[in-house]
Amino acid sequence: MGWLSNIVPPFFSWIPVVVLFIFLLPVAPYKLWRKEKIHVARLEAERVPKFVVTPLGDRQQWEHQTTEHLMWAELRVRNTSPSQSLHNVGVRVRAYTITQERHNISGTYILIDGLADFKPAQVYWSRRDADPQQLTIDIPPGSERTSLIAFSDDSNGPPGILNAPVRQRVSLGGKLEVEVTSLDSAAWRGAFYIECHPHYCRGSSATFEFIPWERWVETHPVTPLSTPDSEGSEYAETAFRRSRALPPKRQGGSKLEYTTFDGPGERGIA
Amino acid sequence: MAGSHKVRVTGAGRNCWFEVSAKPAHLLSRVPVLGPFVTYNLGRNPRFIINVQYLGYVTRDECDTPDPTILPSLADQKLWNFDLVLHIEGDYIEGGDDLLVNLSLTTLQRKQQQYLTRVWPLTRPGRAELQIGVPHPYTEALYSFEVKDTAVTLANAAFATVGGIIGGTVGWILTKVFSS
């Protein structure tokens, strides 16, 4: 066995190797963990929208000087990024739900999907900031642009008209769910209360009431319809799906279609 | 046992197809054996990283293989928004999530888009499934796992075992060193 002692180093020669091994043992997982943490933090930052969105109601112009409309509601969109331009920014109205005062409990409201034919639509930007009928716009870093959500040319009252390619009348008061999107940012989503007040309601100042939904709810409690009735009516079904945060029921088949890979090797264990 | 699946998904009336897969955002959760036991105990809040890859464009019907060289038409270059839901034993966790597909990145630049989901609070034990789009019994889950209601986890036992082995080895070496 003398030849073996010539090949294998003495015992003490192994100590640095073992120490190095013990040192490296936690280093590799730590580096992996650190890299993954940075990656997740970057993805987390991408979830945050680079928009600040401010509603502007009470906009009116009776002399036709700066706008063709008598009263209107606007959404001011500001790019919060100090260095990055936001491209193809669009404002989309996702849903509109009418608020109705409960007949048995005064001062409380319920939400009703009263506009069955309401379709989600992208609205035009204001002509002050964009060309006529422009649906998307680029916003430079730190800049602000204005989207014209709805307008009315009848001072005697509702309905207001949604400023979209297919103009839809927004009558009564309701919850307007809005989405601001861009190729360079996560989508911003929010809800507003919108109502077109005629001049006989507020004296001579016929305006749009256009405020954040949370602020309106503070003074107008909305009671949810949380459970479907035993007969499963469509009204209750809608309220139930909203309460469970499920997507709305599709008519005539689902929005998405699915298939899965059946071939070997395409399905793995995480 | 946790498992991720690659799912093909497209929008109704559109011809662009995407391959979507998911993995837990927590690193240790990706170990197949430890996964459900490390992260998905009751009360934990897992998140997932969704990978979206452009498969291609089907020109005639859905039986055709998607052609990745064909870019979506202008009509298709709209907002792509897939719903993400998580359910445990069919009970949907409140508050969904939306995956906004970056068409410019996935189709024009041919890159994989990654999306970090929201935090899903696990409130009850059972079999959980992360699904994309409208939930359906026949829809394959992006990621499926068990939510366990166990106080002492397999992970804790595994870590204790590995720690004991390393500690014992180091102690044995040190004993040898100082005794010689």
Among A152-166, A235-249, B99-113, name the most confident range: B99-113
> Angle at CA B131, nearest 5°, toward B86 and B13?
140
Verify whether the Cβ–Cβ distance A270 to B136 is below 8 Å: no
Instruction: Name, of A234-238, A239-243, B142-146, the range with top average pLDDT.
Output: B142-146
Q: Is B4 on the interface with A (CB under 8 A)?
A: yes
pLDDT at A221: 87
B74 in contact with A, Cβ within 8 Å? no
Asked whether B132 and B99 are in contact (CB, 8 A), the reply is yes
Residues of B in contact with A11 (CB under 8 A): 176, 180
SS3 percent helix, strand, coil of chain A, rounded to 5, is 20, 35, 40
In what helix (H) or strand (E) does residue A88 lie, and over which residues does it extend? Answer: strand A86-101
Specify which of A80-84, B12-16, B23-27 reaches the highest per-range mean pLDDT.
A80-84
Share of chain B above pLDDT 90, in %: 10
Distance from CA of A132 to the nearest CA of B (A): 20
Rounded CA-CA distance B24/B22 in Å is 7
In chain A, what percentage of residues exceed pLDDT 70? Answer: 71
Whether B21 has a pLDDT exceeding 70, the answer reads: yes
Tokens of A178: 């809005």
A52 touches chain B (CB under 8 A): no
Contact check, Cβ <8 Å, B79/A92: yes
Cα of B9 to nearest chain A Cα, Å:
5
SS3 assignment, position A243: helix
Distances (CA, A) of A178 to A23, A88, B23: 54, 16, 30
Q: What is the ipTM of this complex?
A: 0.72
Residue B151 burial (CB count, 10 A): 8
Here the tokens at position B136 are: 């359906």
pLDDT at A268 over 60: no
Whether chain B has a CB inside 8 Å of the CB on A33: the answer is: yes
| pLDDT tens column, A173-225 | 889 999 998 888 888 989 999 888 877 655 567 788 899 999 998 988 888 66
Please determine, for residue A12, whether its predicted confidence score (pLDDT) is greater than 90: no
In a mutagenesis test of the A interface, which of B77, B116, B138, B173 is the best target, namely the one with the most A β-carbons within 10 Å? B116
Main-chain phi, psi angles of B108, to 5 degrees: -80, -45
Give, in order, the Cα–Cα distances in Å from A205 to each of A172, A193, A246: 17, 18, 40
Whether the model clears a pTM of 0.90, i.e. scores above it, the answer is: no
Task: Residue B35: list chain A partners with CB under 8 A.
Answer: 270
* Vertex A124 angle, CA A118 and A130, to 5°: 180
CA distance A144 to B98: 26
- Cα–Cα distance list, B177 to A12, A14, B170 (Å): 8, 11, 10
pLDDT class for B52, splitting at 50, 70, 90? very high
Using a CB-CB cut-off of 8 Å, the residues of chain B touching A44 are: 116
Q: What is the pLDDT of residue B14?
A: 67
78-117 in chain B: CB under 8 A from chain A: 79, 81-83, 85, 92, 94-96, 98, 100, 102, 104, 114-116
Cα–Cα distance between B121 and B119 in angstroms, integer?
6
Distance from CA of A204 to the nearest CA of B (A): 41
CA distance A232 to chain B (A): 18
Nearest CA of chain A to the CA of B155: how many Å?
A: 16
* Count helices and strands in chain A by DSSP H and E runs: 4, 13
**DSSP class of residue A165?**
S
Name the least confident of A209-213, B105-109, B153-157: B153-157
Cross-chain residue pair A258–B7, CB shorter than 8 Å: yes
* A72 contacts: CB under 8 Å, gap ≥ 6: A59, A60, A148, A149, A150, A151, A152, A163, A208
- pLDDT band of A111, cuts 50, 70, 90: confident
B119 touches chain A (CB under 8 A): no
Pick from A8-22, A126-140, B75-89 the range whose average pLDDT is largest: A126-140
Chain B residue numbers touching A33 (CB-CB < 8 A): 27
The distance of A244 to chain B (nearest Cα, Å) reads 5
Does A263 touch chain B if contact means CB atoms closer than 8 Å?
no
Residue B29 near chain A (CB below 8 Å):
yes
Instruction: Work out the pLDDT band at A237, boundaries 50, 70, 90.
Output: very low
> Cβ neighbours of residue B125 under 8 Å, at least 6 residues apart?
B42, B88, B146, B147, B148, B149
Determine contact, residues B130/B96, Cβ cutoff 8 Å: no
Q: Return the top range by mean pLDDT from A174-178, B77-81, B145-149.
A: A174-178
Classify residue A147 as left (phi > 0), alpha (psi -120 to 50) or beta.
Answer: beta
Q: Write out the two tokens for A227.
A: 């459970």
Residue B156's contacts (CB-CB under 8 Å, 6 or more residues apart) are none
Backbone φ and ψ for B104, nearest 5 degrees, come out as -60, -45
* Interface touch A257/B32, C-beta < 8 Å: no
Query: B127 or A91: whose pLDDT is higher?
Result: A91
Q: List CB contacts of A67: < 8 A, sequence separation 6 or more.
A: A61, A127
What pLDDT sits at residue B33?
Answer: 60
